Structure 1
Amino acid sequence: MVRTNVEIEALLQEYADLIAITGGDAFKARAYEKAAHAIGGYPADVSHLDAAGLREIPGVGRSIAEKVIEYFRTGNVTVVEETRAQIPEGVRQLITIPTLGPKKAMALYEDLHISSVGALADAIKAEKLRDLKGFGEKTEENILHGIALMQQAGERILLSTAMEPAEDIVTELSRITGCENCAYAGSLRRMKETIGDIDILVAAERSASFMDALAELSSTAEVIAHGRKKTSIRTTKGLQVDLRVVRPDSWGAGLQYFTGSKAHNIRTRTIAVHLGLKLSEYGLFETDGGKRVASQSEGEVYDRLGLPWIPPTLREDRGEIEAGLRGELPDVVTAQDIRGDLHTHTDLTDGLAPLEEMVAAAAERGYAYYAITDHAPNLYMQRMTDEKILAQRAHVRSLDGRRRRMRLLHGTELNIGPDGEVDWPGEFLQGFDICVASVHSHFHLSREAMTRRIVRACENPHINVIGHPTTRLIGKRQGIDADLDEVFAACARTGTALEINAQPDRLDLGDEDILRARSHGAKFAIDTDAHSIPQLAYLRYGIGMAQRGWLTPEEVINTWPLRRLRRFLRKDRAD
Structure 2
Amino acid sequence: MARRNDEVEALLQEYADLIAITGGDAFKARAYEKAARAIGGYPVDVSTLDADGLREIPNVGRSIAEKVAEYLRTGAMAVVEERRARIPAGVRELITIPTLGPKKALRLYEDLHISSVSELAAAIEADALAGLKGFGEKTQENIRHGIELLRRAGGRVPLSPALDTAERIVAELSAVTGCERCGYAGSLRRMRETVGDLDVLVSARRSAPFMDALCELPVTAEVIARGAKKTSVRTGNGLQLDLRVVPPESWGAALQYFTGSKAHNIRTRTIAVHQGLKLSEYGVFDTGSGESVASRTEEEVYARLGLPWIPPTLREDRGEIEAALGDGLPEVVTERDIRGDLHTHTDLTDGLASLEAMVEAAAERGHAYYAVTDHAPRLYMQRMTDEKILAQRERVRELDGTRRRMRLLHGTELNIGPDGEVDWPEEFLAGFDLCVASLHSHFDLDRAAMTRRLVRACEHPYVNIIGHPTTRLIGRRPGVDADWDEVFAACARTGTALEVNAQPDRLDLRDEDILRAREHGARFAVNTDAHSVPHLGQLRYGVATAQRGWLTKEDVINTWTLARLRRFLRKGGRA
- Range class of TM-score, shorter chain: over 0.9
The 8 Å contact of residues 488 and 520 in structure 1, kept in 2 or not, is answered as yes
Q: Is 2:549 the counterpart of 1:549? A: yes
Q: Which residue pairs with 1:311 in the alignment?
A: 311
Provide the C-alpha distance between the structure 1 equivalents of 2:31 and 2:481, rounded to a whole number of angstroms.
34
For the 8 Å contact 2:567–2:573, the answer to whether it is kept is no
CA distance in 1, matches of 2:546, 2:183: 22
Q: Distance in 2 between matches of 1:402 and 1:314?
A: 39
Counterparts of 1:532 and 1:165 in 2: how far apart (Å)? 22
Output the aligned Cα RMSD.
Answer: 1.2
Kindly indicate whether the alpha-carbon contact (under 8 Å) linking 2:360 and 2:403 is maintained by their aligned counterparts in 1: no
Report matched runs for 1:24-39 at 5 Å.
Answer: 24-39=24-39
- Structure 1 residue 335: Cα displacement: 0.9
Partner in structure 2 of residue 375 of structure 1: 375
User: Partners of 2:511 and 2:73 in 1: how far apart?
Assistant: 44
* Residue type of the alignment partner of 1:306: G
The aligned residue for residue 224 of structure 2 is 224
| Partner AA of 1:20 in structure 2 | A
In structure 1, distance between residues paired with 2:131 and 2:446:
27
Q: Secondary structure at the match of 2:85?
A: helix
1:85 aligns with 85
Give the ranges of 4+ consecutive aligned residues of structure 1 lying more than 6 Å apart after TM superposition: none
Q: Output the CA distance in 2 between the equivalents of 1:47 and 1:470.
A: 37
Q: Distance in 2 between matches of 1:427 and 1:243?
A: 60
Match of 1:50 in 2: 50
- Please tell me the residue identity of whatever aligns with 1:452: R
Matches within 5 A, 1:268-287: 268-287=268-287
In 2, Cα distance between equivalents of 1:77 and 1:283: 50
Q: Quote the residue 1:10 is aligned against.
A: 10
- Deviations along 1:153-185, whole A, 9 cap, x unmatched? 000011111111111111111112221111100
How far apart in 2 are the matches of 1:496 and 1:365? 27
In structure 1, what is the equivalent of residue 507 of structure 2? 507
Number of positions where the alignment pairs a residue of Structure 1 with one of Structure 2: 574
Contact persistence 1:461–1:573 (CA under 8 A): no
| Equivalent position SS for 1:164 | helix
Match of 2:237 in 1: 237
Q: Distance in 1 between matches of 2:353 and 2:488?
A: 34
**How far did 1:29 drift?**
1.2
In the alignment, the residues of structure 1 paired with residue 73 and residue 333 of structure 2 have an alpha-carbon distance, to the nearest angstrom, of 46
In the alignment, the residues of structure 2 paired with residue 43 and residue 241 of structure 1 have an alpha-carbon distance, to the nearest angstrom, of: 29
Partners of 1:465 and 1:498 within 8 A in 2: yes
Q: Counterpart of 2:353?
A: 353
Residues 28-64 of structure 1 deviation map (CA, whole Å, 9 limit, x = unaligned): 2111101101001111111221222111111111221
Is the 2:347–2:355 Cα contact (8 Å) retained in structure 1? yes
Deviation at 1:556, TM superposition (A): 0.1
Q: CA deviation at 1:209?
A: 1.1
Q: What is residue 125 of structure 1 aligned with on the other side? A: 125
CA distance in 1 between partners of 2:240 and 2:3 (Å): 18
**Superposed counterparts of 1:45-194, under 5 Å:** 45-194=45-194
The residue matched to 2:9 in structure 1 has which SS?
helix
- Over residues 503-559 of structure 1, what are the superposed CA-to-partner deviations in whole Å (9 max), with x where a residue is unaligned? 001000111000000000000000001111111110001010000000000000000
Secondary structure of 1:402's aligned partner? coil
With over 3 angstroms needed to count, the CA separation of the structure-2 counterparts of 1:172 and 1:78, relative to structure 1, is closer
1:86 Cα offset (Å): 2.3
2:205 is paired with a residue of what secondary structure?
coil
SS at match of 2:440: coil
Q: Is 1:276–1:286's contact at 8 Å kept on the other side of the alignment?
A: yes
Query: Aligned partners of 1:393 and 1:28: how far apart in 2?
Result: 35
Say which is worse superposed, 259-268 or 175-184, in terms of deviation.
175-184
> How far off its partner does 1:80 sit?
2.1
State the secondary structure of the residue aligned to 2:443: coil
Preserved contact between residue 2 and residue 44 of structure 1 (Cα < 8 Å): no
Partner Cα distance (1:265, 1:299) in 2: 15
Return the alpha-carbon distance in structure 2 between the equivalents of residues 36 and 560 of structure 1: 37
- The TM-score with structure 2 as length reference comes to 0.98
Question: In the TM superposition, what are the counterparts of 1:451-466 in structure 2 within 5 Å?
Answer: 451-466=451-466
Give, in angstroms, the shift of residue 322 of structure 1.
Answer: 0.5
Partner of 1:41: 41
Q: Report what 2:255 is aligned to.
A: 255
SS of equivalent to 2:491: helix
Which sections of structure 2, spanning at least 5 residues, go unmatched?
none
Offset of residue 404 of structure 1: 6.0
State the partner residue of 1:332: 332
Q: Give the partner amino acid of 1:108.
A: L
Q: CA–CA distance in 1 between the matches of 2:371 and 2:448?
A: 33
Q: Distance in 2 between matches of 1:331 and 1:219?
A: 36
The 3-state SS of whatever aligns with 1:360 is helix
Task: Give CA deviations for 1:476-527 in whole Å, capped at 9, x if unaligned.
Answer: 1111000010000000000000000000010001110000000000000000
Opposite residue 316 of structure 1, the aligned amino acid is E
Counterpart of 1:357, as a letter, is A
Alpha-carbon offset, residue 72 of structure 1: 2.3
TM-score (norm 1): 0.98
C-alpha distance 299-500 of structure 1, shift in aligned 2 (>3 A): same
Q: State how far apart, in whole Å, the 1-side matches of 2:365 and 2:76 are.
A: 37
Do the aligned residues in 1 keep the contact of 2:415 with 2:440 (CA within 8 Å)? yes
Q: Distance in 2 between matches of 1:51 and 1:257?
A: 49
Q: Is residue 2:424 matched to residue 1:433? A: no
* Residue identity opposite 1:175 in structure 2: A
Give the share of equivalent positions with the same residue, in percent: 77
Q: Conserved in 2, the CA contact under 8 Å of 1:2 and 1:45?
A: no
**What pairs up with 1:364-513 in 2 under 5 angstroms?**
364-403=364-403, 405-513=405-513
Equivalents in 1 of 2:125, 2:33: separation in Å? 34
Distance, in Å, in 1 between the alignment partners of 2:447 and 2:315 is 33
1:125 shift after superposition: 1.1
The Cα of 1:401 is off from its aligned counterpart by 4.6
Larger mean Cα displacement after TM superposition, 204-213 or 365-374 = 204-213
CA contact 1:523–1:557 (8 Å) conserved in 2: yes
* Separation in structure 1 between the aligned mates of residue 103 and residue 218 of structure 2, nearest angstrom: 38
Report how far residue 241 of structure 1 moved.
0.8
Give the Cα–Cα distance (whole angstroms) in 1 for the partners of residues 180 and 85 of structure 2. 50
